[in-house]
Amino acid sequence: GQNIDQPTEMTATEGAIVQINCTYQTSGFNGLFWYQQHAGEAPTFLSYNVLDGLEEKGRFSSFLSRSKGYSYLLLKELQMKDSASYLCAVNGAGSYQLTFGKGTKLSVIP
């Protein structure tokens, strides 16, 4: 079966750093995605990890540990516009389909 777990909600201050964790148990693994979804809008692609380690892309970084079934999304220098839901999704082995977590709603406060 597939199980993806991430916190439901988080709050952080503008200018700060926040880490959103995701743990997964899936039958096979072929990569992990992070998406950002603002309220009422489409999810947009943020990052993809298939090998262990950190992928950095501007203010956003994503980390993966395959042995631990664990990933995190790190957001630096938080801005008010970063208030959104962040979705963790896993691509199972032998499949291009994604299994999504419930998403973490991040609120950035002044």
Which of 48, 55, 66, 83 binds another protein (CB under 8 A)? It is 48
Contact 6, 54 (CB under 8 A): no
Three-state DSSP class for residue 18: strand
Q: 9-13 and 104-109 as β-strands: parallel, antiparallel, unpaired?
A: parallel
- 69 near another protein, judged by CB under 8 A: no
- 94 near another protein, judged by CB under 8 A: no
Residue closer to another protein by CB (options 12, 87) is: 87
Size of the site for another protein (CB under 8 A): 25
Task: Provide the phi-psi class of 58: left if phi over 0, else alpha when psi is between -120 and 50, else beta.
Answer: left
Backbone angles phi, psi at 20, to 5 degrees: -110, 120
Residue closer to another protein by CB (options 30, 61) is: 30
- 30 near another protein, judged by CB under 8 A: yes
Look-up of token digits 């790190």 = 74
Which of 7, 21, 23, 31 binds another protein (CB under 8 A)? It is 31
Residue ranges that bind another protein, judged by CB under 8 A: 4, 8, 30-31, 33, 35, 40-45, 48, 50, 87, 89, 91, 96-103
